[in-house]
Amino acid sequence: MFESLQERLSGVFDRLTRRGALSEEDVSVALREVRVALLEADVALPVVKDFVAAVKEKAVGQEVLRSVTPGQQVVKIVHDELVAMLGGVAEDEGAQAGQPFELRGLGLNLNVTPPAPILMVGLQGSGKTTTTAKIAKRLAEREKKKVLMASLDVRRPAAQEQLALLGIQAGIATLPIVPGETPVKIAKRALQTGALEGYDVVMLDTAGRLAIDEALMAEVAAVRDATKPSETLLVADAMTGQDAVNVATAFKDKVGLSGIVLTRVDGDARGGAALSMRAVTGCPIKLLGTGEQIDKLETFHADRIAGRILG
């Protein structure tokens, strides 16, 4: 992800930093190129407009243009605005405690009377079931949580078996399958089992559809009402660009979201979804899916992503 955007921007900033003095016009020309690069990366137009305006306002200040290294100052402003657009630098308890990055937790809210219900929502094929197992494994291994997974997908044949198989591979318990139950019934049984058997977390993998529809939203909302999740995570495919942003908006409005997991960031997505998601929906991107394998899950850090884009 971000390869072509990174290439485009590094060209613009190379030219800018090579010059000694900068005029307002130089900054305007560079920002026009940044604007085109962001639009080509499929970033939503209002987000691009706000971003360029914010950079311009800060960059044409007299102190920046009169400084010894105006080009570098402008790049720094772009970096800081990118971080802000991506949600800012989150408070990271692990970082504050000086823990190495690899050992830190996922930062999900499990701060409720156990078991903490985590509701996984999204379109079919977005990577929901895989991500459910990835998160469960991580919580079990790094955060030493006892995790139970349950598939609420009663429509797609073999969806429940798929999760059970992933559970076996990952060493995570799954709720025994009882044919004929409704999603709400399965969810309630999962929470009851979780409470009785001392689980810390119950992950609920809901059914997806190929596109947003009323029935899907009503089903997910009913499960939400029955389970009061501590996290409702949308799994969205980064490769689908602006569509992923529209899906996030629909889920946010109809179901409510506490966070977004962006999958397939290992692919050649242009990055527009990652860059627009937070600004358009107001929901934080919390995690990234970086491959098919079960351990390919990363926490999202705005400053790391901004650093990757700006090289």
Q: Which residues bind ligand GDP (CB under 6 A)?
A: 122, 124-130, 208, 263-264, 266-267, 289-292, 296
| 216 is known to lie in a ligand binding site | no
Minimum distance between the CB of residue 252 and ligand GDP, rounded to whole angstroms? 18
State how far the Cα of 274 lies from the Cα of 82, in Å rounded to an integer.
11
| 206 is known to lie in a ligand binding site | yes
User: Length of the chain in residues, anyone?
Assistant: 311
Minimum distance between the CB of residue 181 and ligand GDP, rounded to whole angstroms? 19
Q: Which is nearer to ligand GDP, 126 or 281 (CB)?
A: 126
Minimum distance between the CB of residue 52 and ligand GDP, rounded to whole angstroms? 30
Q: Which is nearer to ligand GDP, 117 or 127 (CB)?
A: 127
Asked whether 302 and 83 are in contact (CB, 8 A), the reply is yes
| 209 is known to lie in a ligand binding site | yes
Q: Which is nearer to ligand GDP, 105 or 125 (CB)?
A: 125
| 240 is known to lie in a ligand binding site | no
Element (H, E) at 118: strand 116-121
Residue of minimal Cβ distance to ligand GDP: 289
Q: Which is nearer to ligand GDP, 160 or 290 (CB)?
A: 290
Q: Which is nearer to ligand GDP, 70 or 127 (CB)?
A: 127
Minimum distance between the CB of residue 13 and ligand GDP, rounded to whole angstroms? 29
Asked whether 311 and 3 are in contact (CB, 8 A), the reply is no
| 127 is known to lie in a ligand binding site | yes
State how far the Cα of 302 lies from the Cα of 85, in Å rounded to an integer.
8
Minimum distance between the CB of residue 58 and ligand GDP, rounded to whole angstroms? 35
Residue where the block lists tokens 């009061």: 228
C-alpha torsion sign, points 111, 116, 117, 119: positive
Q: Which is nearer to ligand GDP, 71 or 272 (CB)?
A: 272
Give the tokens for residue 202. 């119950």
Half-sphere exposure (CA, 13 Å, Cβ side) for 2?
A: 15
| 200 is known to lie in a ligand binding site | no
Minimum distance between the CB of residue 245 and ligand GDP, rounded to whole angstroms? 17
| 171 is known to lie in a ligand binding site | no
C-alpha torsion sign, points 296, 139, 122, 301: negative
| 218 is known to lie in a ligand binding site | no
Q: Which of 208, 192, 193 is nearest to 251 (CA)?
A: 208
For the annotated binding site for GTP, the residues are 122-129, 205-209, 263-266
For the annotated binding site, the residues are 122-129, 205-209, 263-266
